[in-house]
Amino acid sequence: MDFKKEIERRRTFGIISHPDAGKTTLTEKLLLFGGAIQEAGAVKSNKIKKGATSDFMEIERQRGISVATSVLAFIYKDKKINILDTPGHKDFAEDTFRTLTAVDSVIVVIDVAKGVEEQTEKLVEVCRMRNIPMIVFINKLDREGKDAFDLLDEVEQKLGLQVTPLSFPIGMGYDFQGIYNIYEKNINLFKGESKKRIADTISFDDLSNPELEKLIGDKAAAQLREHLELVEGVYPSFDRESYLDGSQQPVFFGSALNNFGVRELLDCFVDIAPAPRPKKAEERIVKAEESKMSGFVFKIHANMDPKHRDRLAFVKIVSGTFERNKPYLHVRLGKQLKFSSPNAFFAEKKAVIDESFPGDIVGLHDTGNFKIGDTLTEGEALHYRGIPSFSPEHFRYINNADPMKAKQLAKGIDQLMDEGVAQLFILELNGRKVIGTVGALQYEVIQYRLEHEYGAKCTYEPFPVHKACWVDPEDPQGDEFQEFLRVKQKFLARDKQGQLVFLADSAFSLQMVRQKYPSVHLHFTSEFN
């Protein structure tokens, strides 16, 4: 198959939502439809929970939440689908923000009862900033929830989206009978008390046909006709170009747990979602069909297999063909690297591959060469931006709880920080290590992983900091900056890249520094140059 066809076949997307909206369940059902798994990791009973396929870290199984982004790939209708299942929990939002740099489109999952929640708003905001095409999936229709039109209004108002329904529910919760698929013009009916199985998919392009009453009853038929008339009158008809440029968002209804609405979503997605898109580098825009390989690291995961202490760098291929055992330039280090066993993913299962194409995610074994945001090319010095570190919201000193294991602790902290789990700041004054995180739950994850993966124990103590700001002086040798360094000495630290960071203890002191030292610029993200 030629190179262009391979690119056209690829669909790389992320699934985002607030925790508990059913994101991981939806991922599993997509895998089931794609024939990638035979049985979903369903809850067998409350005591014995088989973990979902995409949650493979021990701590995720214990807590029942996704902590790290996992990558899953499968073939469906001759399309190669790459799913990035992201953590919904806000404490791990940074991992999700970084993942969004590696996707070409997104599915946003919304709970029918809870509607649009806070974390969804933040993630959709990031997608809108980058004009990422989005499809909305309104989940859990088998439960009592908000009215479909109220939900569509909420999505438009709270998320600032321009929606167009491509399927519509027939009833909801207890009265739920099925879904009318506007995109394919058919009806999916469900049978049995459990509503677990799709009884029929009936082609139905003429809604005035009296057969409709026989299928779903007089009341439901009248209601469906009225609803679809309203949909037609209120919402714009679907336009693929508007969807691709991020100005229109198709909406599907369904229940991932009970399998309905998922196939419709997947079929339409495969049909309309974009193949790998051009990506902006600092130097120029790079197109997928260029012959020379380029890609960037958007995630690093240590100890995917705790027995082997391996680190994997996840690389999104942007252009060209990635080949096994071919030397590539690591732009930041300026050296050539070869990879003898690049991996493709299926959650924690990995397979060695000989070549990969734009849109694919490749796992490269790493001995410490990679950082998040690094670029690999065939020689050109490209820098893909947009993978910043954000200012953390929580700060604690980290102390060694076992003096015999100082080496293991240092190595563990080093590797976990490279992964982007949290940020490390080393105080200029006394060299003490401070860990900054987006959410408090990350401290538990770090403690757990240090102990179970590196055999090191740590304790924390509070460190009262309001914000971490990256320091960017207009004149590094100037008197104003030198005075700032002297006066604020005990609040200064270096991040893992050696950049100077000011740890402001309050909003007031931050304001005072800005007034007193106007030539010393302070930034809340690490990418500002």
Tokens of 266: 């997947």
pLDDT value, residue 65: 44
Place of tokens 């599993």: 28
Q: Write down the domain spans for the chain.
A: 3-177+235-272, 279-377, 394-523
| C-alpha–C-alpha distance, residues 458 and 406, integer Å | 10
CB atoms within 10 A of CB 508: 10
Closest-CA residue to 322 (of 369, 376, 272): 376
Record: fold of 279-377: Rossmann fold (3.40.50)
Query: Do residues 470 and 499 touch, judged by C-beta distance below 8 A?
Result: yes
pLDDT value, residue 471: 92
Tokens of 56: 């493979």
Model-level pTM?
A: 0.75
pLDDT value, residue 70: 67
Tell me the three state secondary structure of residue 419: helix
pLDDT value, residue 326: 93
Query: Helix/strand/coil (H, E, C) string of 479-492?
Result: HHHHHHHHHCHHHE
Tell me the three state secondary structure of residue 340: coil
| C-alpha–C-alpha distance, residues 340 and 324, integer Å | 6
pLDDT value, residue 409: 92
Two domains, one topology: 3-177+235-272 and 279-377? yes
CATH value of 3-177+235-272 in 3.40.50.2300, 2.40.50.140, 3.30.43.10, 3.40.50.300: 3.40.50.300
| C-alpha–C-alpha distance, residues 245 and 274, integer Å | 10
CA dihedral sign of residues 436, 438, 440, 443: negative
| C-alpha–C-alpha distance, residues 221 and 214, integer Å | 9
Q: Nearest-5° angle of CA 246, CA 249, CA 250?
A: 145
pLDDT value, residue 45: 27
DSSP string covering 273-291: SPPSPPEEBSS-EE-TT-S
Residue type, 267: D
We find that the CATH architecture of domain 394-523 is 2-Layer Sandwich (3.30)
pLDDT value, residue 459: 93
- The tens-digit pLDDT sequence of the chain (529 residues) is 588 898 999 999 888 887 777 777 888 788 777 665 544 443 222 222 334 444 445 555 554 444 444 677 888 888 888 888 665 445 455 666 777 888 899 999 998 888 888 778 878 887 887 789 999 999 888 778 888 899 899 999 998 899 999 988 887 767 777 888 888 887 877 665 544 445 556 666 666 677 777 777 788 888 888 888 888 888 998 999 999 988 899 999 988 887 778 888 888 998 999 999 898 888 889 999 999 999 998 888 765 555 555 678 889 999 999 999 999 999 988 999 999 888 876 644 567 888 889 999 888 888 778 888 889 999 888 888 756 566 788 899 999 998 899 999 998 888 788 777 788 999 998 999 999 887 777 788 888 888 888 899 999 999 989 888 999 999 999 899 999 999 999 899 998 888 899 999 888 989 999 999 999 998 877 664 4
